[in-house]
Structure 1
Amino acid sequence: MRRAVFAIPGDLDTVTGGYLYEKRLLEGLRAVGTDTAHLRLGGSFPDPSPADHAHAARVLDAIDPQTPIILDGFVFGSMEPATLASLRAPFVGMVHHPLAREEGLSEERRAHLLRTERGNVALAAAILVPSPHTARILVEEYDADPDRVIVARPGTDRVAALREPSHPPLILSIGIQHPRKGHDVLLRALARMTDLPWTAVVVGAEWDAAHAADLRALRDDLGLEGRVRLAGLVAAHERDALYRSASVFALATRYEGYGLVFDEALSWGLPVVSCRTGAVPDTVPPDAGILVPPDDPVAFAEALRTVLGDSQRRAALAAAASVAGARLPGWLDTARTAQAVLDRLAWAGRRGCRGAHVDGSTLGA
């Protein structure tokens, strides 16, 4: 029987794109025939406490040498390379986007994460990434062997319901309330469009309480409290209802290693307005959305104005989004990509090739 271990810190039900990806991958691996154990590690990663780091080192070292391990990106990027180098089982790193590229880090913290992640990139038998963009970063900035970096594009669920756009048009934004998501840019853009009829809803958990308070204050200072709802975390059925009634999906992100919400928007046939940054240009087809430079409320407002004010352009973008959404892979496709990597490691382990590497060129990556 195929076996694997997926080591993930904290609560697997945390509502972020990274946790959703890993939960669906874990479920998908089991569905396609790999008996994958969920190993829950301490919640302090990617800044592990000494106790959480020691516990992770101990339980990972106890795993059967013939059972490959997938290490969540928080763990893979922050554990000491010397610790991972001593593991008996082969491991695969999961990198959604490099930790050292996160917003708001001190230079000391950034240098530390760059050291640990680069060291572990060199040790990993393979590295799973969600996008070609992240793959390029690892090769160009982290000296990763390109043959060991495997793109496992996130899956998406097929949408059965038809959209019923509301009146006035609804602008939908989905992303945790974190500075990287650029909700402040969106608010400033919306403040330049008060002459048009629209309402807006921002869905996403309050990742940082202080930033969430700043967003509420900014919305009110801009006079948008009657038109913009900062909804926070919502139930799945409410999220689907918002997608169904929206006219445009807008996320003024400063950076995305992938961005699952873009695939969701495409699946719903929504035109996308976002930023030309990170993996967004690889994810949003040029005929399905309008991308502008990040941190530019004026350009973002102009793009939204184009979509809302030109019904023919909006219809063309929506049609292209529907076509792109229908072509997206499912989560079982994602799982099969990861399963092929694990199978090669398990095969190498049975032959006694400790530390063997996967060659992505043989996996169709």
Structure 2
Amino acid sequence: MTRGRALTMVLPGDLLTATGGYEYDRRMLDGLRQLGWSSSVVSLDPGFPTPTPRALEDAAELISALPANSLVVIDGLALGAMPDVVHAHKDRLRMVGLVHHPLAAETGLAPELANRLFGSERRALQAMCSVVVTSQRTRAALADYDVAPDRISVIEPGTDQPVTESRDCDEQPSGTDAPVRMLCVATITARKGHELLIEALTELTDLNWTLTCVGSLERSPATVRALRARIAAAGLEDRVVLMGEIDEAGLKSQFRAADLFVLATCYEGYGMAIAQALVHGLPIISTRTGAIEELVGPDAGALIEPGDRTALRDALSRVLSDADLRRRFADGARVAGAKVPDWGMACEKMAEVLTCVSCARPDASGAM
């Protein structure tokens, strides 16, 4: 067991927020505690990565209050938006940046804001003793941010293996006329591609399917309004359910009940929902972005280029109409899912990185 140490995690808003990034943070904190670490959480204003001046002032006060030489892990959602704050403490604190994906890669950003976030995050990363990313793709992306490769550690998210591979009896319909139940797990924002998915499905109403979308309806109200309007215009209200956030037990139930996992995302750093779908043996239809292509491979599903509506429609049509293909992809998904690390392995790797940072000696100038 790793020798226990203390760390502080800094992140915007509520640690219990139901997104993949926050789940990663929660699971790392829980796992590190099991390894003997003590931890605390500093919650910043939820407006990051576009904070108000007051939010930045509050962040500066909270970080200034941390004792000298504290080991501090800063979630990238906040880190990249406060370069001045972290640079003020780069010689006082042992800071580790946790980057799920670069802020400027978010879909739908105005060019001016994307450029500003790129410059801001690039400067903030220079103040870090070390940087943790959640995929090899994100590590490669940070080459544009002038982060030396030897300062970056890749720690992929873990997964929870299902208690049983078989689905609950009351969740499994009988008969060959049952619809193919598709599941999408993603916060409804422009980047996740829900509108593209509905556009593709609008052309496939002759096939027998349903779609359940699990994920926050609060993060991008404009995206949700546009999505609801598109669903209504296509007459798909009886086939598509926007479920919003649900608890862990409910999410596991949805994975068990599904026949097919779909995610038309424009960009992912890793793809935690994809990994969890694989360990549940679900065929995948998604996009070639982030770590998804490496996770899924050619035997577990069909991948298309991000934003390609025609390719998405064709992939959906092929998989929805071919039960044998779905079964082959399901077999491939179980094989791929067995290779995905669990959370215990991921937390052990994080403990190793943090131990190295906490044990590092300062140089002559006082920096780590």
- What TM-score, normalized by structure 1, do the two folds share? 0.92
CA-CA distance at 1:352 after TM superposition: 8.1
Amino acid at match of 2:151: R
C-alpha displacement of 1:238: 2.8
* Partner Cα distance (1:212, 1:284) in 2: 28
**CA–CA separation in structure 1 for the residues paired with 2:185 and 2:310:** 20
C-alpha contact (below 8 Å) 2:135/2:290 kept by paired residues = no
Tell me the residue number matched to 2:322: 310
Structure 1 counterpart of 2:273, one-letter code: V
Distance, in Å, in 2 between the alignment partners of 1:109 and 1:283 is 31
Gaps of 5+ in 1: 357-365
Does 1:4 find its partner at 2:2? no
TM-superposed deviation, 1:270? 0.2
Does the 8 Å CA contact 2:107/2:266 hold for their aligned counterparts? no
Tell me if 1:234 matches 2:246: yes
CA distance in 1, matches of 2:182, 2:110: 35
CA contact (8 A) 2:189 2:223 kept: yes
- Corresponding residue SS for 1:123: coil
Instruction: State the shift of 1:6 in Å.
Output: 0.8
Q: In the alignment, residue 95 of structure 2 is paired with which amino acid?
A: F
| Distance in 2 (alpha carbons) for counterparts of 1:58 and 1:237 | 38
What's the secondary structure of 2:115's corresponding residue? helix
Give the whole-Å Cα distance in 1 for the aligned partners of 2:367 and 2:257. Answer: 51
Partner residue of 2:227 out of 208, 215, 226: 215
Question: For the structure 1 residues 325 and 106, does the alpha-carbon distance in structure 2 shift closer, same or farther, using more than 3 Å as the test?
Answer: same
Distance of aligned partners of 1:262 and 1:354 in 2 relative to their CA distance in 1, 3 Å threshold: farther
Which of 74, 79, 87 is the equivalent residue of 1:76?
79
CA displacement at 1:283 relative to structure 2? 2.7
Aligned to 2:32: 29
Q: 2: distance between equivalents of 1:341 and 1:190?
A: 44
After TM superposition, list the pairs within 5 Å mapping 1:187-266 onto structure 2.
187-206=198-217, 207-266=219-278
Contact 1:130 1:257 (8 Å CA) reproduced: yes
Q: Return the alpha-carbon distance in structure 2 between the equivalents of residues 112 and 299 of structure 1.
A: 33
Letter in 2 for 1:345: V
Matched, 1:129 2:141: no
Q: What does residue range 1-365 of structure 1 map to in structure 2 within 5 Å?
A: 1-81=4-84, 83-87=86-90, 88-139=92-143, 141-161=144-164, 162-163=166-167, 165-166=172-173, 167-206=178-217, 207-349=219-361, 354-356=366-368
> Can you give the 5+ residue segments of structure 2 that lack an aligned partner in the other structure?
none
RMSD across aligned C-alpha pairs, in angstroms?
1.9
Alpha-carbon distance change, 10 to 45 in structure 1, aligned in 2, over 3 angstroms = same
Decide which moves more: 229-238 or 30-39. 229-238
Identity across matched positions, percent = 38
Count of aligned positions: 355
Rounded Cα–Cα distance in structure 2 between residues aligned with 1:233 and 1:83? 33
Structure 2 match to 1:361? none
SS at 1:290 equivalent: strand
1:254 Cα offset (Å): 0.9
Residues 232 and 272 of structure 1: is their aligned pair in 2 closer, same or farther, counting only changes over 3 Å? same
Alignment-derived partner of residue 363 in structure 1: none
Which amino acid in 1 is paired with 2:286? S
Displacement, 1:158?
Answer: 1.2
Partner AA of 2:123 in structure 1: G
Q: 1:305 to 1:106 in 2, by over 3 A?
A: closer
Q: Distance in 2 between matches of 1:62 and 1:276?
A: 43
Structure 1 position 53, deviation (Å): 1.5
Distance 1:36 1:349, change over 3 A: farther
